């Protein structure tokens, strides 16, 4: 979390947010604070997720757009962490601070738990197939989604502030900036139609869903935007390779990626299909993730106090960007 936002956050603010949604103020558990403050709390004997977003990250209309889409997906029978109204009947509560304000929302806590990639009983072809099916269900459903009000329409992928690389990595990294601009130009030349492009999650890696009895429930839709469907698949592959075989040989990465995608598409193709043309674009979307991740890490990390692990991670990503290669090269 940026220091400027941390300076606006307080325990009193957190308790006020909890009261707005009828959550117990005692026992709130911090789950994360990378981009937003996320807490788990209790209400009427049930567990919920309380999220506080600073206005420097999102404005109210963008959050309302996220929550409306979540409502729609839930109504289509897709397992997502649904939003809940406050005691005043609002899906979003605004709490002013000295600089800006926090936007507060409450979500159902997804049943189950995060999968353990080191446990072969959890991390296997069955999961990858179910993962693919879940993403396909979202893609099929989103084709029919209609924004009720243009004010709350979510942004397109290239409106992402993180693509303003000069802002976060500095003008001195001119090579990376030029490569990023060329990639964005290429992606903007790709066709956009109902069968390939729409409102998607954009970040369904294994940290953003829980598994319970073999069923996946997806959460953290904060970054949802209009994007090509293949991007959701690229994200699932990218973080799986990074987490599980990131330090392995290129051959080992290829073996894992091939097995992952074959299982993933068995599930995906049951519900929704993409032309081979889009599968062939996968490397470009893997490269885009490197660029966005490099930007967000430069934005969030204290560059004057980096750990060895952080330095190594940044160098790995930078090297791939400059060589214009994806995290893994795989073809199906």
CATH of the domain at 273: 3.90.1200.10
Single residue among 48, 80, 108 that ends a domain in this structure: 108
- State the chain's maximal CA–CA distance in angstroms: 56
250 in the same domain as 140: yes
203 in the same domain as 145: yes
Closest alpha carbon to 57 in 147, 162, 149:
162
161 in the same domain as 14: no
Q: Print the domain residue range for 20.
A: 3-108
Paired tokens of 323: 């060589």
Query: How many structural domains are present in the chain?
Result: 2
Is there a domain that residue 134 lies in? yes
Single residue among 39, 74, 108 that ends a domain in this structure: 108
Is there a domain that residue 59 lies in? yes
pLDDT at 142: 97
Is there a domain that residue 72 lies in? yes
Which residues are CB-neighbours of 181 under 8 A, at least 6 positions away? none
259 in the same domain as 157: yes
| Rounded Cα distance, 115 and 212, in Å | 10
Is there a domain that residue 332 lies in? no
Is there a domain that residue 117 lies in? no
170 in the same domain as 92: no
pLDDT at 303: 79
Q: How many residues make up the chain in this entry?
A: 332
- From the number of C-beta atoms within 10 Å of its C-beta (0-12, 13-18, 19+), residue 138 rates as buried
180 in the same domain as 102: no
SS3 content of the chain, % helix, strand, coil (to 5): 50, 15, 35
311 in the same domain as 181: yes
Residue 47 β-bridge partners: 42
262 in the same domain as 189: yes
Is there a domain that residue 114 lies in? no
Asked if 73 and 139 count as a contact pair (C-beta separation under 8 A), the reply is no
Single residue among 108, 141, 156 that ends a domain in this structure: 108
88 in the same domain as 176: no
141 in the same domain as 173: yes
Query: What pTM value is reported for the model?
Result: 0.93
Q: Report the CATH number at residue 27.
A: 3.30.200.20
Closest alpha carbon to 80 in 230, 270, 215, 237:
215
267 in the same domain as 309: yes
Is there a domain that residue 86 lies in? yes
Element housing 139 (H / E):
helix 125-142
Is there a domain that residue 285 lies in? yes
| Rounded Cα distance, 45 and 47, in Å | 7
Strand ranges (E), the chain: 29-32, 37-43, 46-54, 83-84, 93-96, 101-108, 197-200, 209-212, 215-218, 225-228
Closest alpha carbon to 235 in 316, 326, 163, 141:
326
pLDDT at 245: 67
Q: Can you give the pLDDT of all 332 residues of the chain as single tens digits? A: 778 888 889 999 999 999 999 999 999 999 988 788 999 999 999 999 999 999 988 899 999 999 999 999 999 999 999 999 999 999 999 999 989 999 999 999 999 999 999 999 999 999 999 999 999 999 999 999 999 999 999 999 999 888 888 888 888 899 999 999 999 999 999 999 999 999 999 999 999 999 999 999 999 999 999 999 999 999 999 999 988 766 778 888 999 999 999 999 999 999 999 999 999 999 999 999 999 999 999 988 887 889 999 999 999 999 999 999 999 998 87
Q: What is the 3-state secondary structure (H, E, C) of 276-309?
A: HHHHCCHHHHHHHHHHHHHHHHHHHCCHHHCCHH
User: What Rg value do the Cα atoms of the chain yield, rounded?
Assistant: 20
292 in the same domain as 191: yes
């Amino acid at each position: 979390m940026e220091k400027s936002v941390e300076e606006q956050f307080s325990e009193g603010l957190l308790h006020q947010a909890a009261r707005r949604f009828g959550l117990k103020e005692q026992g709130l558990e911090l789950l994360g604070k990378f981009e937003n403050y996320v807490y788990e709390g209790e209400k009427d004997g049930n567990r919920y997720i309380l999220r506080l977003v600073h206005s420097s990250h999102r404005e109210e209309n963008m959050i309302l757009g996220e929550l409306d889409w979540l409502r729609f997906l839930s109504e289509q029978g897709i397992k997502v962490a649904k939003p809940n109204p406050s005691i005043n009947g609002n899906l979003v509560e605004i709490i002013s601070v000295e600089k800006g304000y926090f936007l507060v929302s409450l979500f159902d806590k997804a049943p189950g738990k995060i999968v353990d990639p080191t446990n072969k009983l959890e991390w296997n072809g069955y999961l990858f197939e179910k993962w693919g099916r879940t993403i396909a269900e979202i893609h099929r459903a989103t084709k029919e989604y209609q924004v009720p009000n243009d004010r709350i329409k979510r942004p397109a992928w290239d409106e992402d502030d993180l693509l303003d690389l000069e802002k976060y990595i500095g003008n001195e990294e001119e090579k990376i900036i030029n490569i990023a601009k060329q990639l964005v130009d290429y992606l903007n030349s790709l066709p956009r139609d109902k069968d390939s492009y729409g409102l998607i999650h954009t970040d369904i890696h294994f940290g953003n869903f829980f598994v319970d009895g073999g069923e996946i429930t997806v959460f953290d839709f904060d970054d949802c935007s209009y994007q090509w469907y293949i991007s959701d698949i690229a994200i699932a592959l990218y973080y799986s390779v990074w987490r599980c075989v990131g330090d392995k040989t290129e051959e080992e990465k290829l073996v894992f990626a091939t097995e992952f995608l074959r299982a993933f598409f068995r599930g995906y193709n049951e519900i929704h299909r993409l032309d081979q043309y889009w599968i062939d674009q996968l490397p470009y979307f893997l490269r885009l993730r490197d660029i966005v991740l490099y930007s967000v890490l430069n934005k969030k990390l204290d560059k004057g106090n980096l750990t060895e692990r952080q330095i190594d991670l940044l160098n790995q990503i930078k090297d791939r960007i400059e060589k214009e290669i994806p995290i893994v090269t795989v073809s199906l």
